[in-house]
Chains A and B, each alone.
Chain A
Amino acid sequence: MLSRIIIDHSVKTVLMMATGVTIFITLGVITSILFESVQFFNFVPLGEFLFGSNWSPHASTPGHVVGHFGAFSLFLGSILITLIALSVAGPIGIFSAIYTSFYATPAMRNLIKPVLEMLAGVPTVVYGFFAIVCVAPWMRRLGLTVGLDIATESAIVAGLVMGIMIIPYISSLMDDVLYTLPQSIKDGSLGLGVTYGETIKFALIPAAFPGIASAFLLAVSRAVGETMLVVMAAGMSANLTINPLQPVTTVTVQIVSMLTGDQSFDSPQTLAAFALGLALFIITFVFNYISQRIIKRHQSQHDGH
């Protein structure tokens, strides 16, 4: 009997330690990024970092800051690519989800859903390569035929390919929400002599709106944090532009570019990378958090009735 208590107790302790490791990691992520960022903001004011348009960090050496750390063009680049990606993935994802959840027969649904989810399973480095070897040359040729000069590394190429990549994030999450809508809403609307399409548009989609919003938020957070694809397809130079045909750089690209190569750990570039990481963390955290809250509230509302 005593040994059983000892076993029980030690098992619980071990499991608790595992939980402790995850807590430690959570705290570790936050403190390591915060700690380095605080050092960074000791020599670069927050205002310049957020709104300054001059990004040329590579001139600095440890303890000697001569570069400029205005990250506005990086944020703008991230936003630009995300918007392009959403304008591709939004319509395709939404209409695919509508089709799979309302029109497709069960057999079609079982075929379409896994194939769409394959898009999410492809590693992002593969999308990057796809952008380089296929989309960029095509876009360039397409641009030349209509008289536009599209750079090989451009926001439009990165955005398009990222759009393809995040289609399943939107379609799959939205399908989950739409598919589980109560049949009673559908019946209620159809019983009024409303067509199936109108029922979807005016009764079912509005009822699923929170789920759709949260799917979009997750897709945005995914797009903003995407790294390999933009490193390969978007470019390294900080251009203050909203022209999608130009190369732009993003927060993630600059984090990578400042940390590859042998930087000493306390160089201003490394610290700047951590500051960018902090910004990225906050942005994606906010999006994820809102998305989770919306879903949770939506669920409780549906359980309630």
Chain B
Amino acid sequence: MVIYTPACPAGTRPPKESKPKFSVRDLDLFYGSKKALSSVTLKIPQGQVTALIGPSGCGKSSFLRCLNRMNDLNPLARIAGSVFLDGDDIYAQGVDVVQLRARVGMVFQKPNPFPKSIYDNVAYGPRIHGLTKSRHELDAIVIDSLQKAGLYKEVSDSLEGPALRLSGGQQQRLCIARAIAVSPEVILMDEPCSALDPVATAKVEGLIDSLRHQYTIVIVTHNMQQAGRVAQKTAFFHMGELVESGDTGNLFTNPKDVRTQGYLTGRFG
């Protein structure tokens, strides 16, 4: 198993810290009797974008859902091994999943804004977490989140308009703004661009790049080019196993495992 070791490929900024944000050890995941992940060990660095790639059904999305315990919602799911966030095991007894998920936000494959106004979508998290004391503060968070998501200019006139009337790309950026508004430390993205057209995809990718200095980002993608464009680190999954991980540039140009080579050259996937 290859574990990522800090390195600074040309053109990317050096990470601020070498301490990993997530540290996953020997993680197994079962859905009923079916093993979806076996013995995954991976460190995810802080302040960078880590891409999880691999053919569909390889377990990359299941792995992502382990990082904020979204798999808990599936009564059949069972895990073994441990996941550390800043050194604390998130599967330990007494860990509050609600708190965890507020720290580790998530953006889904299909844009899923609530059937509410744009404003209410972004304000939803801060309101429930009681982050603000006044409407003024809430306004500030909403506008700031929308700006960071690069959506504010497009919707500033229609904050009270229904979110479902936005285009797909706008909806996805709204979902990112919604996640940012709770000021999480990590944002997990599960194929965030798979439902979008190329123009919208480019915008979301630009957004991901601009967010990585403030948040640790883990992105699942089935699109290798996308991983190459946005991610500093890449991990390749195959058949529920982590085959290889490392700097994106290294992994793409110099894969060590034959399966990685095969996938990258398009022999399967």
Contact = CB atoms under 8 A, between A and B. Distances in A.
B235 to A, nearest CB: 21
A123 interface: no
B37 to A, nearest CB: 20
Contacts, number: 75
Interface in B18-76: 68, 70, 73, 75
B103 interface: yes
B98 A188 contact: no
Interface stretch (B105-113, B152-160, B220-228, B255-263): B105-113
A143 interface: no
Contacts of A185: 112, 114-115
A193 B125 contact: yes
Contact of A193 (B99, B107, B108, B114): B99
A294 interface: no
Interface in A212-233: none
Interface string B124-141: 110111000000000000
A193 B112 contact: no
A292 interface: no
Interface residues of A, number: 22
A182 B113 CA distance: 11
Nearest to A203: B114
B101 A191 contact: yes
A193 B115 contact: no
Contact of A195 (B75, B98, B112, B184): B98
A193 B116 contact: no
Contacts of B230: none
A206 B115 contact: yes
A188 B112 contact: yes
B131 to A, nearest CB: 11
B128 A194 contact: yes
Nearest to A298: B115
A191 B106 contact: yes
10 contacts: A185-B112, A185-B114, A185-B115, A187-B73, A187-B106, A189-B114, A191-B179, A192-B124, A192-B128, A192-B179
Interface of B: 68, 70, 73, 75, 98-103, 105-108, 110, 112-116, 124-125, 127-129, 164, 175, 178-179, 182, 184
